[in-house]
Amino acid sequence: MIGRVRLAWGMFGLTVVFLVAMVGLSAGREELFDTILYGLLTFSLAFVGALITSRHPDNRIGWIFCALGLFGAFAEAAEGWGYLAQDHNLPGGKAGEWLIFWSWIVDMNAWALVFLLFPDGRLPSRRWRPWLGVLITGLALALPGQALTSGHSEEFSSGGNPLGTDAIPTDLLLNIGLTLLLVTLLAGVVALVVRFRRGSSVERQQLKWFAFAATLLAVAGTAAIFLYYDSVLIQVLVALALIALPAAAGISIFKYRLYDIDVVINRTLVYGALTATLAGIYLGSVLLLQLVLSGVTEGSGPAVAASTLGVAALFRPARSRIQELVDRRFYRRKYDAQRTLEAFSSRLRDEVDLGTLNAELGAVVRETLQPAHVSLWLRTPEGPR
């Protein structure tokens, strides 16, 4: 066990070495946020993987994270060397560009495997073993389909893929391989659902953390399909969503009892909807006020100021209303319990009969807490006051 733990932390240390090299080689040659965010992604993968392996060396999730972090850092450093080598006519530049060109295929296959194995590092049952074969077949087809294609010459500063060939149908191989990969990824999602339905309360809490991060990535990834190369914000959101996956995995395996994921989901729904609502109101009011004030002032300062004040005034009532809608739709039991307590509090002010109060109190406790048994003990006065 000690040897495996040392190996995991050795992989983490090597990842850090490659990350330092990547920062030095890529600084000034690519967007700063790209270097920082994807550096954080590989660091978090290797670090969380080493932590998991230290506590649970038999859990394959930790080893997959260690390998993903190390490979990602090496690929990013190779890309940085590719920039430097092409600028100064040094050897190995084409190899670095070629490596980063197909590295994402390996990453996607590794994440599909994580979905199949999370959280204990084992398949849900033996019936899921054929999906490993599907995943390996997809990798075997997609990898040469991407690495040996003669297209995408814009990805190489030399003007073309140094190993590109037209002797094999690379586009067909890539499309078939990616199809198998996406099917396996969908099977991984189904595996998570099966585990949630059959698992214990502990496993369900772990799966909630991972599913929450995966949902964020799915939302960001859907937006990236259409806007990735046109929006820096989308690129940043995708990178942050990727970083959230190993972070959520680490929390779910180690600290899931310390944080209530339902509270996190609740706050995300509330403040996400609140942000979208207030942003829409702000933009709409700015445009409307600019049209109204166009004859009075040429600038948009009054419109922006008025819109800002209006949004600030709407913040608290809008948050309360959205919180009520979220509780009613997604946390119905909590919403009904709160309404029951509010109704009981209003009746309590006017109720003077002890027997009626006893009956109503028992009914409220049964409805809100749903205990197996309810009893009320009243202390008998020992004498006149």
> How far apart are the C-alpha atoms of 138 and 14, rounded to whole Å?
29
Give residues with Cβ within 8 angstroms of 380, minimum separation 6: none
- Residue 276: what pLDDT? 73
> How far apart are the C-alpha atoms of 203 and 307, rounded to whole Å?
47
- Is residue 74 situated within a structural domain? yes
- Is residue 380 situated within a structural domain? no
Q: Is the C-alpha dihedral spanning 298, 302, 308, 314 positive or negative?
A: negative
Do 299 and 248 reside in the same domain of the chain? no
- Is residue 375 situated within a structural domain? no
The CATH number that applies at residue 56 is 1.20.1070
Domain boundary among 259, 279, 311: 259
- Is residue 264 situated within a structural domain? no
- Is residue 167 situated within a structural domain? yes
Do 130 and 233 reside in the same domain of the chain? yes
Do 80 and 176 reside in the same domain of the chain? yes
Domain boundary among 259, 285, 315: 259
Tell me if the bond preceding 119 is cis, omega within 30° of 0. Answer: yes
> How far apart are the C-alpha atoms of 300 and 298, rounded to whole Å?
7
Joined tokens for residue 361: 């109190």
> How far apart are the C-alpha atoms of 115 and 365, rounded to whole Å?
41
Number of domains in the chain: 3
> How far apart are the C-alpha atoms of 336 and 341, rounded to whole Å?
9
Do 276 and 235 reside in the same domain of the chain? no
Helix (H, G, I), strand (E, B) or coil at 337: helix
- Is residue 33 situated within a structural domain? yes
- Is residue 350 situated within a structural domain? yes
- Residue 65: what pLDDT? 93
Do 319 and 195 reside in the same domain of the chain? no
Do 357 and 224 reside in the same domain of the chain? no
Do 193 and 305 reside in the same domain of the chain? no
Give residues with Cβ within 8 angstroms of 211, minimum separation 6: 192, 196
The answer to whether 257 and 206 have CB atoms below 8 angstroms apart is no
Range of the domain at 231: 2-259
- Residue 334: what pLDDT? 60
Greatest pairwise CA separation for the chain in angstroms: 104
Do 138 and 241 reside in the same domain of the chain? yes
Helix (H, G, I), strand (E, B) or coil at 89: coil
Q: What residue type is 39 in one-letter code? A: G
User: How much of the chain is in helix, strand and coil states, percent to nearest 5?
Assistant: 80, 0, 20
- Residue 383: what pLDDT? 54
Do 49 and 175 reside in the same domain of the chain? yes
Do 109 and 67 reside in the same domain of the chain? yes
- Is residue 377 situated within a structural domain? no
Do 78 and 184 reside in the same domain of the chain? yes
Do 153 and 294 reside in the same domain of the chain? no
Local mean pLDDT, 10-residue blocks, the chain (385 residues): 82 92 77 77 91 86 93 89 79 83 91 90 91 95 91 72 85 94 93 87 81 83 78 80 85 63 61 72 73 59 70 75 68 59 63 63 65 68 57
